[in-house]
A and B are shown apart, each in its own frame.
Chain A
């Protein structure tokens, strides 16, 4: 067989060679390179075949690494398709046979496991850890940033941090020793006494006390159950409303609407009997709606739809019917109403609404810890009693039921669904009327208010709405706002009051505020004359500012000085001329001397002064520094002096600041520095300041009590940190500043560098043990 195969392969080879030869001989289309490679391969194969011919006919396995189209049963090759071999391919045959389930599972497990990556080197790991730790720690610590900033900027910090609750004495204690003294107080107290308001114990009025005493355990339980039921009802109601809102069936809505309308008209009638004035008002509303309808073009068959229908009406019966319906509706709406009453109708509506909304679940017995909630029971006698006691005299449940039955009787020819709906409502209403009454009452009142107010607002908007639609909308409003917002609406009211109540005691209690009150008057007094004073000041300034025309003065400095002392000043007109006769001889003598001096005084005084000044100026001038280098650039040696030109060039005197008395001819101001005072001056700029003027501005306000009021002085000298002697100052905690979660984050900080902390801790422990 082997021989056979070899022979075959040889044959094939020879054939291939022929094929190869063929193109060689006739160079038609074959490519040169291809031919070459082909030739090589064939040559290889030929060699193999030949080598296999001799004796040992070993079939050489194809190498795995080589790409080959061959599919061998001995090895796996993924050649040809260019795709990688996927494990799923291998599993395919396995799927079919159920016996290989274990293998499959194993393989699956292998598949699910991912290749474990090579562990990073230690440095890298540590670096990553550090980075992560840094990130986390900084995130944790950044929570403290605002607090740190606040503390840095705070004028005063008080430690220990925990705010001590000021011991507030109960108000009874405070009031016990207090008596009304002023007539106003007495009057107020009289009033309070008259109304049996609490005077000494302001917590409870007598009524409240009585009620407290009156309520027994059962009553409390009852009350609780009641509340429970109300809550349940509310939730059901909400659920119902939500569900109903979702219903998209037009028919259903139509049915409901019609039912409403009918009921409304019924109730109006009822109301007319009971309360004709209110009914009249309601009627007026209807009338208004009717007028609006008449004014509008709705239902007049003038719209787009109507026109299209008019075209179709010739051929289509339905279209004709629709048009007629529309007209009928218009007629109905514009028809004058004979009898209608709203309130009754509204009540009916609300009842109905709630009846509709309450599902069966409510009526089923709810198991409580103490047994069934009596309020959840269907027909409880106490329930009814309660309802009866709490019922409003205006609200009459009996007529409502009657109405319903009447309406039922009348509405025979209405569609079946409607009847069904009605039935359903009926049943439920009968079942729970008594239960509901109590709940519906407040809701109803609220609702009425709402709807009436809303109606006034929405009247314009809902001008041409149908009567029934009107009812419908009212119902919806009631359902959406009636009960739920009722609870919500009452909440904000006390909140609004609260700030007012809180504000009141702050009025004018502190002294400062009293001062402020006084100050306002002060300001009034002070600020008004300001412009006048300013005017005066500006008038006066030219006289009082002799340095204003300084430039001029500088020119005529000397002349000015002469003028200064020699100007003839007006002599005083004195009433009392001193009598010189009585003067003593001594004075006389002195006067004589003065006279002599006076005679010789004058110019030399001025001259002396000017001389003195010149000397002072000279003395204060900075001395010249000789910087000439003899022999540099010219000949030097004994007897040779540097040239004048050079000396002029290198004689340098740093120019000092201008003298203070430069423009004041009659003054010598010493330029010498007071070094004793300078020792008390600040010589180093404190940290954040970069220029001395900035710092000077911060210290220019005097701090001492000599210059400030007591209060300002205290404020200016408050210590930056205040501590209580004898109290342990604990480190700041997250709870102190209102962080809830940061206590955990603090922990995380500790966890992240446990080593350091533990070492420190150990050190501290050691210290403690030593100490």
Chain B
């Protein structure tokens, strides 16, 4: 298994047309000026539509269920940053060059710039084509659950599903009856192969849940608030009553981190090797597990923190507060990157989907909301639940699970990248005790539920990403492979300070320091070396060099330049218009278009 060409998939989502939206203009736009586009537009556009056609499967016999398990590699959707193939700005200017308002590029460098831009464009296209091509290698298809006509899938119970699927998949549904040590929290490793759980009363265990092979089982003789695997299944962080402890897979305590005390929730950022802890004291602490250093300890100033989740897209930590807000944190900033007022009551649970597009929150006002995280932070859909959801989790393919008392409800969206629709639950399941922890198993159609009665692993068709990336998170990897991967992952570790709301901003020029540097340079030199020399009329003989005529000549040149500019922008506009027209006319692609390159 494993060494196969990988395919980033998210990038294929073509951003919808952004030009349609136009914010209110601040000043009237002249006919020669470029259209100003609010930068937020790009981010706030509608969700990318799913490319794959939803197949209409032939109906099978009653209560037919298919559960598929992936074997062939595919990069997980989770950690990858979805790519926007085209910059909104790039589509804007036709010439390919988008000179700034004040810039007046030299002719020579202009040509060079253009060639560079062309090269970049060509590369981009080529890579996108290659990525599209390699999608061929994603052989596995996600599972799904379909009721007979009119049948509600929510009525299908686990026993039916287990009956319908093959034995191997059926074995993935199991219950661990551990009534003795209270409600359990649980965590799957990144590969989805290992499961760790900790009971409130000190029971900590880790096992290979597929083979049911126990790795370790200990009692820490202390209340366990949360449990989390670190970068691999070999290390285990346990938030105990007092301090944070780290165990290895034999159950040997490796570290006791006293700087993180009274930790209530744990999150691990796999690409940054950061363990984020939220404590009762109101501190959010980032611990770099690769060097064992605390990177940042941020005071949230919002009292006890017991609602936390991470955004897998940009590694921002979301904290839910009792005043109904959700705050977004990065270790580089002392204050929250953003604060969103979500509920009238306190926030009980937060979850962010794998693409970083949607956030689900539930509050004390018994509402469940799904927010759009791409710049607008507005609720897309809202539901009132009879008892409110205490726990939320997203699956890799965008299924949302909510734990309400002893019941879990699962909602599914209409496609891969669409938000889950809260109209109809996809699946429901009743457990033997109130839910205390929820997580979907990566790359498996399995949902792990920790409750007061133990652990339940239930089958949720279509939850996991069917194709995993053998080089990134391979469920079948050997010890050697794991070690190798560990080294590579450490080499590729992302610095903690790069965590920000928009990771793509890192690929942008720091305009402020650029301007600053320019200013300083001008100061140092005493003149602007890049400024175009203003036109200086030549002195002429025989009284023709009078002040009036000089001014006139200057004016003439200025007007000429202005006219040139206007002409150019007009031309561009016309061309754009033409293109739009051409696009609108050829709305329906011909069958022969596929041969066009």
Which of A545, A575, A597, A606 is in CB contact (< 8 Å) with B44?
A545
Contact A681 B506 (CB under 8 A): yes
Within 8 A of A (CB), among B52-103: 53, 75, 80-81, 83, 87, 89-90, 97-100, 103
Binds B, one of A83-91, A402-410, A709-717: A709-717
Interface string of A574-605 (1 = CB under 8 A from B): 11111110111001000000100110011001
Contact B434 A587 (CB under 8 A): yes
Q: How far is the CA of A532 from the CA of B50 in the complex (A)?
A: 11
Contact B508 A696 (CB under 8 A): yes
Residues of B within 8 A of A565 (CB): 324, 341, 343-344, 365
Q: How far is the CA of A471 from the CA of B337 in the complex (A)?
A: 101
Q: Does B509 contact A (CB under 8 A)?
A: yes
Q: Does A167 contact B (CB under 8 A)?
A: no
Contact A677 B506 (CB under 8 A): yes
Evaluate whether A605 and B323 lie within 8 angstroms (CB atoms) in the complex, with A568-B384, A579-B405 already known. yes
Evaluate whether A683 and B514 lie within 8 angstroms (CB atoms) in the complex, with A527-B593, A537-B46 already known. yes
Q: How far is the CA of A564 from the CA of B368 in the complex (A)?
A: 13
Q: How far is the CA of A688 from the CA of B105 in the complex (A)?
A: 9
Q: How far is the CA of A568 from the CA of B446 in the complex (A)?
A: 33
Contact B344 A566 (CB under 8 A): yes
Residues of A within 8 A of B510 (CB): 678, 681-683
Q: Does A672 contact B (CB under 8 A)?
A: yes
Contact B434 A601 (CB under 8 A): no
Residues of A within 8 A of B322 (CB): 597
Q: Does A524 contact B (CB under 8 A)?
A: yes
Binds B, one of A250-258, A309-317, A335-343, A546-554: A546-554
Contact B103 A691 (CB under 8 A): yes
Residues of A within 8 A of B372 (CB): 544, 546
Evaluate whether A677 and B497 lie within 8 angstroms (CB atoms) in the complex, with A550-B23, A578-B405, A670-B337 already known. yes
Interface string of A665-692 (1 = CB under 8 A from B): 0111110111111111111110111111
Q: How far is the CA of A609 from the CA of B302 in the complex (A)?
A: 13
Evaluate whether A701 and B120 lie within 8 angstroms (CB atoms) in the complex, with A566-B344, A693-B100 already known. yes
Residues of B within 8 A of A575 (CB): 152, 154-155, 425, 428
Q: Does B387 contact A (CB under 8 A)?
A: yes
Evaluate whether A579 and B346 lie within 8 angstroms (CB atoms) in the complex, with A515-B136, A681-B508 already known. no
Q: State the B residues within 8 Å of A (CB).
A: 5-8, 11, 16, 21, 23-24, 40, 44-47, 49-51, 53, 75, 80-81, 83, 87, 89-90, 97-100, 103-106, 109-110, 112-113, 115-117, 119-121, 123-124, 126-127, 130-136, 152, 154-155, 183, 322-325, 330, 332-333, 335-346, 364-365, 367-368, 372, 375-380, 382-387, 404-407, 409, 418, 422, 425, 428-430, 433-434, 452, 472, 492, 495, 497-501, 504-514, 517, 530, 587-589, 593-594
The 6 closest A-B pairs by CB, nearest first: A578-B405, A676-B497, A569-B382, A690-B105, A692-B509, A681-B510
Q: Does A389 contact B (CB under 8 A)?
A: no
Closest to A551 in B: B24
Contact A698 B49 (CB under 8 A): no
Contact A664 B377 (CB under 8 A): yes
Residues of A within 8 A of B124 (CB): 700-701
The smallest C-beta distance from B131 to any residue of chain A, in angstroms, reads: 6
Contact A609 B364 (CB under 8 A): no
Within 8 A of B (CB), among A698-731: 698-702, 705-712, 715-716
Known: A522-B136, A699-B507, A701-B123. 13 other contacts (CB 8 A): A541-B46, A548-B21, A574-B386, A576-B429, A667-B377, A675-B332, A677-B500, A677-B505, A680-B495, A683-B510, A684-B517, A685-B514, A712-B130
Residues of B within 8 A of A548 (CB): 21
Evaluate whether A712 and B497 lie within 8 angstroms (CB atoms) in the complex, with A572-B386, A695-B509 already known. no
The smallest C-beta distance from A564 to any residue of chain B, in angstroms, reads: 7
Closest to A544 in B: B46
Q: Does A523 contact B (CB under 8 A)?
A: yes
The smallest C-beta distance from B17 to any residue of chain A, in angstroms, reads: 9
Sample of 17 A–B contacts (CB below 8 Å):
A519-B133, A527-B593, A544-B46, A550-B24, A574-B407, A578-B405, A578-B407, A598-B364, A605-B345, A606-B344, A664-B378, A677-B497, A680-B495, A683-B510, A690-B530, A700-B87, A711-B130
Evaluate whether A672 and B380 lie within 8 angstroms (CB atoms) in the complex, with A572-B425, A609-B341 already known. no
Closest to B368 in A: A572
Closest to A543 in B: B380
Contact B341 A606 (CB under 8 A): yes
Please tell me the size bucket of the interface on A: 35 or more
Contact A601 B130 (CB under 8 A): no
Contact A710 B5 (CB under 8 A): yes
Evaluate whether A674 and B333 lie within 8 angstroms (CB atoms) in the complex, with A569-B384, A572-B383, A700-B87 already known. yes
Residues of B within 8 A of A679 (CB): 497
Q: Does A453 contact B (CB under 8 A)?
A: no
Evaluate whether A677 and B344 lie within 8 angstroms (CB atoms) in the complex, with A531-B589, A545-B45, A701-B120 already known. no
Contact A674 B127 (CB under 8 A): no
Evaluate whether A698 and B324 lie within 8 angstroms (CB atoms) in the complex, with A580-B405, A709-B130 already known. no
Evaluate whether A691 and B323 lie within 8 angstroms (CB atoms) in the complex, with A529-B53, A575-B425, A597-B345 already known. no
Q: State the A residues within 8 Å of B (CB).
A: 153, 515-516, 518-520, 522-534, 536-537, 540-541, 543-548, 550-551, 554, 561, 564-572, 574-580, 582-584, 587, 594, 597-598, 601-602, 605-606, 608-609, 612, 660-661, 664, 666-670, 672-685, 687-702, 705-712, 715-716
Closest to A669 in B: B338
Q: How far is the CA of A532 from the CA of B99 in the complex (A)?
A: 37
Evaluate whether A697 and B90 lie within 8 angstroms (CB atoms) in the complex, with A565-B344, A667-B340 already known. yes
The smallest C-beta distance from B55 to any residue of chain A, in angstroms, reads: 10
Contact B386 A609 (CB under 8 A): no
Closest to A554 in B: B24
Contact A708 B332 (CB under 8 A): no
Q: How far is the CA of A698 from the CA of B508 in the complex (A)?
A: 10
Contact A601 B365 (CB under 8 A): yes
The smallest C-beta distance from B294 to any residue of chain A, in angstroms, reads: 16
Residues of A within 8 A of B134 (CB): 709
The smallest C-beta distance from B499 to any residue of chain A, in angstroms, reads: 8
Contact B5 A711 (CB under 8 A): yes
Q: How far is the CA of A720 from the CA of B593 in the complex (A)?
A: 36
Q: How far is the CA of A190 from the CA of B134 in the complex (A)?
A: 41
Closest to B338 in A: A669
Residues of B within 8 A of A687 (CB): 109
Residues of B within 8 A of A668 (CB): 336, 338-339
Contact B49 A688 (CB under 8 A): no
Evaluate whether A578 and B332 lie within 8 angstroms (CB atoms) in the complex, with A515-B136, A598-B364, A692-B514 already known. no
